[in-house]
Amino acid sequence: MHLLQVCNVGNICGGTAACAWTTARALPNWQHTIWFLSPPTLLTRQEFAFAEVIHQSRITHAKLREIRPDLILWHNTSADRVPHGITIPSIQYQHSAGRRVPATQHVYCSRWLAQQCGDAGGRVLYQAVPLPARTSVARFSESCRIPLEPCTTDQVTAAQSNVVLDPVSSPSEWTIGRICTPKPHKWGPHLIPFYQQLAKEV
């Protein structure tokens, strides 16, 4: 199988490129092509050395005919970047609100996002997050554990003050990580106390 993944930002340090990386690593026997709509950084190209990497700001029928993928995974891809009439089976993996290109299947990164997009019953696909090589991992308070549901402000505050360490990771629980494009507007000052506390506990 040949999987084409389309990412908006060519930066492996967060955003959809990190999601594409975890997806590709989960499918080692597939052929992988990663199409970035913005220029990929050198580090990003290095991390995707196992795949064909393309940079082109818009999707074109000609390039798709050249690549010939069996499946396209759109990572939050806007409809205005893609021409009409693509018949290749596809999945839209929506990471944030907005108008996205239609696909054969549509999945969201969280139940909360599906609800925000008016699709409360929509399918949710949780992204794998690599754990650091440590003997223990940070866990949030019980109120914010999987299954994922929107946390209230009070619950988030409780999570900030009740980060604990579990020496053994239970297979029935998930570690929640934030993989996000390193842009200032996505990492506001209000997050600093939370990450300070998390760093102390880890």
Closest CA to 109 of 90, 94, 97, 129: 94
* Parts of the chain belonging to CATH 3.40.50.2000: 2-124
Burial of 121 (0-12, 13-18, 19+ CB in 10 A): exposed
Please state the φ and ψ torsions of residue 58, each to the nearest 5 degrees.
-135, 150
The single-letter DSSP state of residue 112 is H
Please state the φ and ψ torsions of residue 81, each to the nearest 5 degrees.
-100, -5
Q: How far apart are CA 78 and CA 76, in angstroms?
A: 6
Instruction: Say if strands 164-166 and 137-139 run parallel, antiparallel, or are unpaired.
Output: antiparallel
Please state the φ and ψ torsions of residue 170, each to the nearest 5 degrees.
-80, 135
- Say whether pTM exceeds 0.85: no
Closest CA to 36 of 18, 15, 60, 53: 53
Q: What is the pLDDT of residue 132?
A: 54
Q: What is the pLDDT of residue 187?
A: 72
pLDDT digits (tens, 9 = 90+) for 95-146: 988 889 999 999 998 888 999 999 999 999 887 665 555 544 444 333 333 3
Q: What is the pLDDT of residue 161?
A: 36
The CATH superfamily of 2-124 is Glycogen Phosphorylase B; (3.40.50.2000)
Residues 75/59, Cβ–Cβ less than 8 Å: no
pLDDT digits (tens, 9 = 90+) for 72-108: 999 999 999 999 999 999 999 999 888 899 999 999 9
Partnered with residue 108 across adjacent β-strands are 94, 124
CA distances from 103 to 27, 40, 64, 78, 119 (A): 21, 25, 15, 11, 15
pLDDT digits (tens, 9 = 90+) for 48-72: 999 999 999 999 999 999 999 999 9
Q: How far apart are CA 140 and CA 27, in angstroms?
A: 30
Q: Is 155 helix (H, G, I), strand (E, B) or coil?
A: helix
Closest CA to 78 of 102, 54, 60: 102
